[in-house]
Amino acid sequence: MKNWILKNWRRLWKWITKRSVLIVLIAGALIASIVLTTICHWKWILGGSEPSEVLRNIGLVIVGILGTALAIWRAMIAADNTKINDRNSFTDTFTKSIEQLGAGSEDEPNIEVRLGGIYALEKLSQVNLEYYQPIIDILASYVRKHTPIPDLVPEGKETKKPRLDIQAALTVLGRRDVKELEVRLDLGFACLQGAHLMSAHLMGVKLAGANLYGAHLGNADLRGAYLMDAKLMDAKLMDANLRGANLKGADLRGANLMDAKLMDAKLIAAHLIGAHLMGAYLKDADLMYAHLTGAHLMGANLKGANLMYAHLEGAHLEGANLEGANLEGANLEGATITSEQIKSTRNSHLATLDPKLTLELVNTTGDDEGND
C-alpha cells in the first residue's frame, strides 16, 4: 500500500511539475479577476466608470491571461508530441537496424544491408544516450557470435582478415566516445586476426583468449585491458597504451611493441620470444616467468620491473634501464647486457649470467672494495 501511494504521488507530482506554468497562469487569471472586480466595483460605487466599461476591462484582462495560458498549454502539448514522435522514431530505427544485422544467411550474409544496420546503430548511439549501452553490447555480441575461434588453427597460414561487417562493427566500437560508467566492452575469445584497431578506445576491454594474430593495434588505448591468454603473435602494438593491462600467459611472439606503454602491466608467464620492445616503458611491470628469449629490449625502461625467473637468454638489452629490477632466478645467458646494468638491479647474484659477465662483476666488485 505504501509503495502504491508513493508511486502515485510521484506521478501526480510529475504531472503538476510539467503543467506548473499553466496552473500558475490560470490561478493568476482568477486572482486578477477577483482583484480587478473588487477594485472596479468600488470605483463604480464611488461614482467612477460606467458598469459596461468596468465589465469590458475585466473581460479583456481575463481573456488575455487565459489566452496566454492556452497558448502555453498548446505549446507544451506540441513539445510532448514531438518527444513521443522522436521516441517512436528512435525505437523504429533501433528495431530496423537490429533486423538488418541478420540480413541474408550465415553462409551468404547480405554485407551491404548489415553495414547499413551497423552505421545506423552508431548514429543512434550518438544522438540518444538511452540506446548507447544496449547498442555497444549488441555490436560486441555480434562480433563475438560471428568470429568464433576455430578448433584447429593451421600453422603458417596467411593472416585472415575479418569480414567487412565485422571490421565495421570493430571500427564503430573502437571510435566510440567512452562513457564514464560504461560497462566493460566484451570481445573475449573472439577471432580477430588481422583486425584494424589503430588508435581504438579499448580501455578495460575484455579480450581474454581472443585471437589477435597480426592485428593492427598501434596507438590503441588498452589501459587496464584483460588480455589473459590472448594470441597476439606478430601483432602491431607500436605506441599502444597498455598501462595496468593483464597479459598473463598472452602469446606475443614476434609482436611489435616499440615505444608501447606497459607500466604496471601484468606479463606473468607471457610469451615474448623475439618480440620488439625497443623503447618500451615497462616500469614496475610484472614479468615473472616471462619468456623473453631473443627479445629486442634496446632502450627499454625496466625500472623496478619484476623479472623473477624470467627467460632472457639472448635478449638484447643495450641501453635498457634496469634500475631496481628484480633478477632473482632470471636467466640472462647470452643476453647483451653490461656489468653496469647488472649492478643497478636487485638480486642479480641469484640470476644465471654468462661466466664472462659473472667474472667481470666479481673483478669490478673486488676493485671497488680495493679502492675503498
Q: Is the dihedral of CA 173, 174, 177, 183 positive or negative?
A: positive
What pLDDT does 361 receive?
79
Rounded-to-integer distance, Cα 325 and Cα 344, Å: 8
Query: Higher model confidence: residue 127 or residue 367?
Result: 127
Rounded-to-integer distance, Cα 115 and Cα 141, Å: 16
What pLDDT does 123 receive?
95
Lowest mean pLDDT across 54-58, 101-105, 332-336: 54-58
- Structural element, H or E, at residue 102: none
How is residue 185 annotated by DSSP?
A: P
Distances (CA, A) of 223 to 181, 226, 240, 304: 16, 9, 9, 19
Q: Is this model's pTM higher than 0.85 or not? A: no
Query: Higher model confidence: residue 73 or residue 91?
Result: 91
